[in-house]
Amino acid sequence: MDLVNRFLRYVQIETTSDEASATTPSTPTQMAFARQLQQELTDMGLADIRLDKNAYIYAALPATPGCESAPSIGFIAHLDTSPDAPGRNVRPRIVSHYDGGDITLSDGIVLSANVFPELHNAIGQDLIVTDGTTLLGADDKAGIAEILAAVEYLQEHPEIRHGRIGIAFTPDEEIGHGAAQFDIEGFGCDWAYTIDGGETGELEFENFNAARADLTFHGTECHPGTAKGKMVNAMLLAIKYASQLPESERPETTEGREGFYHLHGMAGDVASANLHYIIRDHDRERFEARKQHMRDLADAMNREHPGCCEIALADQYRNMSEKVAVADAENRRRGLPGIVEVAEKAMREAGVEPKIVPCRGGTDGAQLSFMGLPCPNIFAGGMNMHGRFEYVPIQSMEKAMMTIVNICKIVGK
């Protein structure tokens, strides 16, 4: 089965995750897809195939003869698609030899190069697009298709020597739970790569440190006609708190390695109000300073209105770069190339110039790195993900597939 046909088949399977669910996987469609992949892995003749009750699926391609002592490396992608856009009845279409103009997805819905100028980088390529009513699902079914197509390529080219190759597909990455129940010991790899990045050449091994902050403001309610000197409006307390965080440090005003405070939820009345923030920064010291700043603001408001503000802070994930650096140092001590160096070389051998960028978000790889499996993120090719204007160039998917093959070859040597 070729790469494109595999991908086109996968995206038509609904696997939207549900952040309101208390189960893993959060939706039964993910388990159904996992069972289908389990059968495909069996048909491919892979070893150590396991599908657990939470829809984590594992398999391995054994080492070629004489390479049993090479490091075991893994490749990971996720089953689910984002709940930010509909994922049912996906109808993909191929636009051959894209000419740089607007692409009509359906009546009144246009994928425009003026709105999405990165389309200019895809002129002359073959694009897989949506019909304008759903997302596409390249995040991350492109990753799944690329991993399995790379495995097939290795099977068809036994002259390529490689060590043991681990494969894993996880549920619920889009709602932050993809690594929660990952069996690192059973996976049995020295390091791994998530195939879950965007444009061609992306290589991410640095992500945000992340925390959430939940604030509750307590007011004093009374009849507005007799409120003078009595009423304390909890909503206005919340507004005052939010206004003290710098406008220049919000998601809409930051980029690159710049951190931010993001207000992503609010509710309330006179008696009680709530603010929900996420806090992000690549630098650990600045990250800790951001959390302390939010505590200090709460303390200041409590000095003015005793007991008016409660704040609860919880770390979510950390920057994987420190764990990747440790793994790289250990590899070099053993006379092996660093795991980032391997990925860069593999990309160049596939005709791709690596684009090392800080990830302005989190990946399963960040959590897995701190669980003991160093795990940078490699491009899968999808663009405009999580929405109806999502697309993926076929040539990007082919280069991602060959990057995987080349990683296996490099480590096998």
Q: Which residues pair with 281 in a beta bridge?
A: 209
Q: Indicate left, alpha or beta for 124 from its phi (over 0: left) and psi (-120 to 50: alpha).
A: left
Cβ atoms of 16 and 82 within 8 Å: the answer is yes
Catalytic residue among 14, 140, 172, 173: 173
How far is it, in rounded angstroms, from Cα 59 to Cα 44? 11
Q: Are strands 272-281 and 103-106 parallel, antiparallel or unpaired?
A: unpaired
**15-50 burial, b if ≥16 CB within 10 A, otherwise e?**
bbbbeeeeebbbbebbbebbeebbebbeebebebbe
Nearest alpha-carbon partner for 378 in 133, 159, 123, 197: 197
Catalytic residue among 14, 80, 199, 281: 80
CB neighbour list of residue 340: distance below 8 Å, 6 or more residues apart: 203, 205, 324, 328, 356, 376
Q: Token digits for 377? A: 């993120």
How far is it, in rounded angstroms, from Cα 262 to Cα 276? 8
Instruction: Let me know if 19 is a catalytic residue.
Output: no
Instruction: Let me know if 102 is a catalytic residue.
Output: no
Which residues are catalytic, by number? Answer: 80, 173
